[in-house]
Amino acid sequence: MIDTEELLRLSGSNSYRIGTLTKSAGCIHPLSYCRSMAKKISSMGGKIHGNTRVTSVVPEGNKWRVNFHDGSVLSDWVLFCTNGYTDNVLAGLNKTFIPLVSLQAATKPLSNEQYKKILPEGHTIADTRRVIYYSRRDNRNRILLGSLGRTPECSLASDKRRLITAFKTVYPSISENDIEYFWGGRVAFTPDLLPHLHEPAPGILAGLGFNGRGVAMGSTMGRVMAQRVLGKASKDLDIPTTDLPRYRFSDAKSLAIGLVIPYLETRDRWDIKISGVA
C-alpha cells in the first residue's frame, strides 16, 4: 500500500488518495511486441498471412478445412484467437462475451518541464473506476491515457470528450490542445471477468475473453494452446479446456453495450459522491 504523498510523487496526479504498488508489473509497446513475435515466427519458418479473412471452418475426414475468399488449408488443429473481433465462423463463440470498446488518447510530445512531473519514475497507473482510467508514458515525452467507450475508432465526440475529461481529472496540467491522437478497439468481457479456453470439438481451440488485459494474458494463453496442440492433456493445462458455455448473450447485446458504460459511469459518480474523492 502507498499513501497519498507517495502516490502523488510517483503519479504526478493529485486525484488519488491511496494506492497499491505492484513491483513486478511493467509496460511494453504492444506494436513493437507484435512485430518482434512476427519476426520470430518468420525466422522459425512460420508463415503469416494478414488480410486473410477466414469465412468457414468445416470438417474433412479427421481434419479441418479452413476456407478463405481465395483458397483454403487443411489442418489437424484450428486455433481461434479472435477475442473482441470474433465473428460467427465458430457458431456460438461470439455469444460467450460482450464486446466492449477500449479507447486511448496520447498527448503530443510535452516539454521536459511538464513531462518530468507525470509518472516520473516510468510507472503505469490504473484506477478502480468501473469505467477505468489508466495511463503511462511513452519514450517520446507523450502521456497516454485510456478508458472505455462506444466507438472502436473513437469517432464519437462523446468518446473523445470522455478521454479529455479523464485527462483533466487525472492530470489537470494537460489541456485539450495537448492531446494529439485518439484511437480504440474491441475487447472481450466475459461474465466472470476471466479468460477462457474452449475446445468445442476435437482439433478446435478458442482462447479469448481477456477483459481488456490481453497483452500479457494473450501470450500466456498462446503458450497453453500450443501445449494442448503438442499433446498435453486438457486437465493438465494451466487453463483447462471447456466446452462452449451454456450462457449466450442475445442479439440484443448491442443495446446492452450502449447501456453498460453509462450505467457503470453512474455507479462511479455515486462512489465519488459518497467518498468525496474524485
CB of 275 to ligand FAD, least distance (A): 25
CB atoms within 10 A of CB 4: 12
Closest CA to 180 of 138, 212, 214: 138
C-beta closer to ligand FAD: residue 19 or 207: 207
Assigned C-alpha cell, 197: 479456453
Sign of CA dihedral 245, 222, 190, 23: positive
Q: Which of residues 33-72 bind ligand FAD (CB under 6 A)?
A: 53-54
CB of 191 to ligand FAD, least distance (A): 17
Cα distances (Å, whole numbers) of residue 260 to 4, 72, 84, 159: 31, 39, 16, 14
C-beta closer to ligand FAD: residue 29 or 273: 29
Q: Which of residues 182-221 bind ligand FAD (CB under 6 A)?
A: 184-185, 187, 208, 210, 212-216, 218
C-beta closer to ligand FAD: residue 58 or 274: 58
Residue from the set 11, 94, 96, 104 that interacts with ligand FAD by CB under 6 A: 104
Count of residues interacting with ligand FAD (CB under 6 A):
24
C-beta closer to ligand FAD: residue 12 or 146: 146
Contact status: 89 vs ligand FAD (CB under 6 A): yes
Please list, in sequence order, all residues whose beta carbon lies within 8 angstroms of the beta carbon of residue 31, skipping any fewer than 6 positions away: none
Q: Position of cell 491522437?
A: 181
CB atoms within 10 A of CB 106: 20
Contact status: 85 vs ligand FAD (CB under 6 A): yes
Helix (H, G, I), strand (E, B) or coil at 228: helix
What phi, psi does 195 have (nearest 5°)? -75, 155
CA trace torsion 175, 143, 39, 46 (10° rounding)? -80
- Binding mask of the shown chain, residues 144 to 183, with x at each position contacting ligand FAD by CB under 6 A: --x-------------------------------------
- List 67's β-bridge partners, or say none: 56, 72
C-beta closer to ligand FAD: residue 59 or 272: 59
Residue from the set 87, 153, 176, 180 that interacts with ligand FAD by CB under 6 A: 87
Report the half-sphere exposure of 179 (CA within 13 A, side-chain side).
Answer: 23
Q: What residue ranges bind ligand FAD (CB under 6 A)?
A: 53-54, 81-85, 87, 89, 102-104, 146, 184-185, 187, 208, 210, 212-216, 218
